[in-house]
Amino acid sequence: MALLALSPFLIRFYLKRQSYRTDSKIFNDKRELRLPRLHLILGIILLLLPIIFLIGYYIDPQMKFAIFIILLFFTFGIFGGLLISIYLNHKLSFDDDAFTITDWKGSLERIHWKEIESIKNKSHSDNIQIYTTNKQVKISKHIIGLQLFINKLEEKCEIFLY
């Protein structure tokens, strides 16, 4: 029971440590940063969790329980699908000229280092927001190797984030 109570803190600690890793993939002289596999695992667990209750419903069918299962499918299914979508789509690649971010929906934004006007890094948020004249992008703080991107950002834009 204590492990269950501590699990959110352990997960956040794990994700924070992953952002300091430096073993990112390099394709065509660009570093590509992705989210940890934990997002995929938690998404699959959230999608599979209602199936356990569905099996219980077939063993002992009750009307109240059926409504509960439908709510579970909507709640956990939406969150599980969102986590899987975030894991599969959200990535960041950068080189000396610009960086490219793909959000959870799969839409692609390319921003040159010179275009950056401001950056918001709130301690209670899990995103870094980067603003240009006509764009705003959010980068997850859980991306593996985020510190490499922050170092490049500080070097190119002369902005200190941490």
CATH number where 155 lies: 2.30.29.30
Give pLDDT tens digits for 62-78: 656 677 777 877 888 88
| Mean pLDDT score across all residues of the chain | 80
pTM over 0.95: no
Asked whether residue 33 is domain-assigned, the answer is no
Asked whether residue 145 is domain-assigned, the answer is yes
Asked whether residue 134 is domain-assigned, the answer is yes
**Mean predicted confidence (pLDDT) in 74-93:** 89
More confident residue, 128 or 22: 128
Q: Are residues 71 and 99 in the same domain?
A: no
Asked whether residue 97 is domain-assigned, the answer is yes
Asked whether residue 19 is domain-assigned, the answer is no
Give pLDDT tens digits for 91-103: 899 888 889 999 8
Rg (CA), the chain: 19
Q: Are residues 75 and 106 in the same domain?
A: no
**Mean predicted confidence (pLDDT) in 128-142:** 88
Number of domains in the chain: 2
Q: Are residues 54 and 120 in the same domain?
A: no
Asked whether residue 18 is domain-assigned, the answer is no
Q: Are residues 75 and 133 in the same domain?
A: no
Asked whether residue 23 is domain-assigned, the answer is no
155-158, long-range: CB < 8 A, 24+ apart:
156/96, 156/113, 157/113, 157/116, 157/119
User: Residue 50 is part of which domain span?
Assistant: 42-85
Provide the pLDDT for residue 84: 92
Q: Are residues 126 and 67 in the same domain?
A: no
List the strands of the sheet with 127-131, edge to edge: 118-121, 127-131, 136-140
Give pLDDT tens digits for 8-52: 667 666 666 666 666 666 656 677 888 888 888 989 988 888 777
Q: Are residues 138 and 159 in the same domain?
A: yes
Q: Are residues 162 and 128 in the same domain?
A: yes
Asked whether residue 96 is domain-assigned, the answer is yes
**Confidence band for 85, pLDDT divided at 50, 70 and 90:** very high
